[in-house]
Structure 1
């Protein structure tokens, strides 16, 4: 059992311990082993945020995602960050408004936004390069490459994610449960980058909702950024924005032989098994079992998720 968490408060009016989220993160000791909860007062915090590898066991908790917003405007070709490119990386990798590289991170009731306008190219709202990270009732806002699940195991519940092109991407092992996925324009929801059949990575969307901006058939469920890309949609509602073909091979027919794109008991006007590409698969009950439980992201002898859930800390004034 972990020790009780320490609490740090952030408020732009000076009534908390710190005025910015980054100042609070910087105050967490290097090599931290005790959960630190950073409670963030309502406000729009306009600055990039970076959680280094040495800053583990951090929770960032807001009042509500609509009222507590972390936002910045980097793109792959224009990065302005309080850390140097040597630390955070360049291109798409370094363009995230918020970057988390410290394991055992939790966020609750926060909006993570990249405010770069449509047409800016790759502009990540949030990149996670860390293991055992969980997100509850968060929003991820952007256009292209909104949420970069780069590495590690992640769990998202009751979150809202919007974008247009490849806006949930990377090679993480992630379960998104009861999440709302919103397609803002023509594009692709996922771009998972598993590189071999031996890798256990992939994205599972469980009991989610996919919506769009009113048009018909303009968004694909995904395309393989890596040749063995793996994505599963289960018990998910798909509105008319979803292309009836479902999936795209990224212009590489060879990807059709290796990608693992699965659906299971989905529904809605965007779900049409008879019109899906032939190389995607509709799972049977037995085949789907491995993707329907939290065991997809945690091993029975290492139950990180249940322990982390004990430290969901609602904001209180």
Structure 2
């Protein structure tokens, strides 16, 4: 299928001057992928990709050079869309909000520039199925990356924050990603509501780093009673607390939350000291989480093959 390519340039030399203008120009209910090339620059404007605009790719050259940034918080939202469209509170405060399916971003930084202590301040909310992020950065403090709904794949990405900075109820595989813990808090707050839901977050061959301090970060806490998170083959530095996981002040969550680790390593990986209600998986249990089929389950209709010039899927077990 042919793609349409457009360029954003703030100096007026491209097809559009803002990312939002390029998104707005995508036809409603489009069936052809539109690649929006975003040259180096700092783009200070919230971006909204509505449900009616699918198959959009945002493509930068280097994530350090192409930065989409804004400073909304759950308590203070300044947006070009009405609250009835984007929502309110944490749900509506994302610098970028993606609701169109089959969205791809490559080599782009998504930032919420609100300072520490601002409360919930989302860099991106993804409420869309079959979305992929390659070599992207997600910068913020609390609630940086809102993987709210759908299936997402993140590869070679950098995600930083403090409190619940990867959260929501999507089905997400984060592969070869760098997770950086800026201050005390919780990496994940996955919100699976029942044992029947197939949602959850898998961190495969990732690296977790901290600010130089020791034992100040939990791997996660259950936002929903059945929150499900897996860390596999992941390096954990001294910032991770030995107990690993937190029950969010509700003892009953310990009976339903599914918090797993598999063959992790580093000074923050302490299986013998973890809370008793988390588990180290055995090989047979781990298999379902170590392959792309966790997020791409239908071999007849694979969706992880949309990236420009790269054919996916391939086995996530291959180095």
Aligned mate of 1:26, from 21, 24, 27:
24
Aligned mate of 2:234, from 233, 236, 248:
236
**Counterpart in 1 of 2:13?**
15
Residues 108 and 312 in structure 1, CA contact (< 8 A), matched pair in contact too:
no
**For residues 162-241 of structure 1, what are the structure 2 equivalents within 5 Å?**
162-241=160-239
Would you say 1:58 and 2:56 are equivalent positions?
yes
Would you say 1:134 and 2:135 are equivalent positions?
no
Q: Can you give the 5+ residue segments of structure 2 that lack an aligned partner in the other structure?
A: 312-319
Whole-Å Cα distance in 1 between the matches of residues 35 and 49 of structure 2? 13
Q: Which has the higher contact order (CA 8 A, sep 6+)?
A: 1
**Counterpart in 2 of 1:301?**
300
Alpha-carbon deviation of 1:310? Answer: 4.4
Which digits, 9 at most, give the CA deviation of each residue in 1:181-226, with x for residues without a partner?
0000000000000000000000000000000000000000000000
TM-score (norm 1): 0.97
Alpha-carbon deviation of 1:298? Answer: 1.0
Whole-Å Cα distance in 2 between the matches of residues 246 and 59 of structure 1? 36
Aligned mate of 1:245, from 243, 250, 266:
243
When the two structures are aligned, how many residues end up with a matched partner? Answer: 310
Would you say 1:122 and 2:120 are equivalent positions?
yes
| CA RMSD after TM alignment | 1.0
Residues 73 and 97 in structure 1, CA contact (< 8 A), matched pair in contact too:
yes
**For residues 238-317 of structure 1, what are the structure 2 equivalents within 5 Å?**
238-299=236-297, 300-305=299-304, 307-310=305-308
Alpha-carbon deviation of 1:301? Answer: 2.5
Q: Can you give the 5+ residue segments of structure 1 that lack an aligned partner in the other structure?
A: none
Whole-Å Cα distance in 1 between the matches of residues 72 and 254 of structure 2? 34
Residues 107 and 135 in structure 1, CA contact (< 8 A), matched pair in contact too:
yes
Moved more, 10-19 or 257-266: 10-19
Whole-Å Cα distance in 2 between the matches of residues 217 and 77 of structure 1? 30
Whole-Å Cα distance in 1 between the matches of residues 237 and 11 of structure 2? 42
Residues 38 and 60 in structure 1, CA contact (< 8 A), matched pair in contact too:
yes
TM-score (norm 2): 0.96
Which digits, 9 at most, give the CA deviation of each residue in 1:77-113, with x for residues without a partner?
1000000000000000001000000000000000000
Alpha-carbon deviation of 1:302? Answer: 2.3
Alpha-carbon deviation of 1:140? Answer: 0.3
**For residues 151-162 of structure 1, what are the structure 2 equivalents within 5 Å?**
151-162=149-160
